[in-house]
Amino acid sequence: MLKWNVQIASLTTGKRPFFAWSAEDHFKRSIEVAKEVGAKGWMAVSYLDLGLLHKAKKRTDQAKECFSKAIKIFEEIEAEAFLKQAREALATIE
């Protein structure tokens, strides 16, 4: 039944229901919303998480890009603990 509801919702609205989104979709949407509201810390954490997802899926170039964006923001907002995590994540793929 749930499968049919998802398909019907997709057909009638042209959008996937929230629960049908992939992790990547969620991280990208999180980044968009964080940009809209000016939540730099939230945006940086979302970039870090998206980078970890890309790394797990062996998408090294995309992972590096996300980690680099996260590092830049963490430096700006002086979030040292998260900055350390992002730098360590980047170092594991360089």
Residue boundaries of the structural domains of the chain: 22-91
63-74 residue pLDDT tens? 999 999 999 999
Predicted pLDDT at 10: 42
**Cα 51 from Cα 82, distance rounded (Å):** 13
Q: pLDDT category, 22, cuts 50, 70, 90?
A: confident
CATH number, domain 22-91: 1.25.40
* Digit-coded pLDDT (tens) for 25-76: 889 999 999 999 999 999 999 999 999 999 999 999 999 999 999 999 999 9
pLDDT for residue 94: 74
Residue 45 CA: distances (Å) to CA of 20, 21, 65: 22, 19, 14
Is the Cβ–Cβ distance between 44 and 78 less than 8 Å? no
Cα–Cα nearest to 40, from 68, 67, 76: 76
